Amino acid sequence: MPDSPTDSFSLASRVEEIDGARLWLTARLRAAEYGDDDVWALELALTEALANVIRHAYRGDPAQRIDLELQVSPSRTTVTITDSGAPFDPHDYEPAPLDTLRSGGYGVHLMREVMDEVAATATPDGGTQLRLTKYRSPGIQPPRSRP
């Protein structure tokens, strides 16, 4: 399977828009015959990344825009999320201990756990470009249950 060209998608900074971004991502991963585990990991990481942008970078301002780029190759997928809000680097984030029952702070931890690479760079306008990379899992995976 050859590398696909970069695909792009834009959304408003509203949590209601996240589902559409997930559908866009999933359709392209399915077309490239990625397995269920990889699709789930990328859906989850994208959801967490977009929630962070909406809540923290844009502080809930629904009038802002988020740009996505997707590169799918036979060996790996990279999703790039670009915003122009307040800077955020997940590597600066130190998660609280997970052995206590708490209501928040799991997002960056999950993103790191399910991705192979998470890289953030500052953009010229002061925003952030976050790159999420997942290497394709080997072998055939069983279908997961979906409603």
Partner 1 sequence: MNVSTEERGGAKVVRLEGALDVAAALELRDLLATVLEPGAKVLLDLAAVSLIDSSGVGILVTAHRLADARGAAIVLAAPPGPVGRVFELTRTNRLLRIFPTVEEGLAALAA
Which residue, 1 or 30, is less far from partner 1 as judged by CB?
Answer: 30
- Report if residue 102 touches partner 1, rule: CB under 8 A: yes
Q: Sheet of 7-12: strands edge to edge?
A: 7-12, 65-72, 76-83, 128-135, 117-122
Binds partner 1 (CB under 8 A): choice among 2, 5, 139, 147: 147
- Report if residue 79 touches partner 1, rule: CB under 8 A: no
146 contacts 129 by C-beta, under 8 angstroms: no
Helix axes of 18-31 and 36-52: crossing angle, nearest 10 degrees:
150
- Report if residue 59 touches partner 1, rule: CB under 8 A: no
User: Candidates 2-10, 38-46, 66-74, 115-123 — which segment interacts with partner 1 by CB under 8 A?
Assistant: 38-46
Helix (H, G, I), strand (E, B) or coil at 129: strand
d(C-alpha 58, C-alpha 112), whole Å: 22
Provide the binding-site residues for partner 1, judged by CB under 8 A: 15-16, 18-19, 22, 36, 40, 43-44, 47-48, 51, 54, 98-99, 101-107, 109-110, 113-114, 144-147
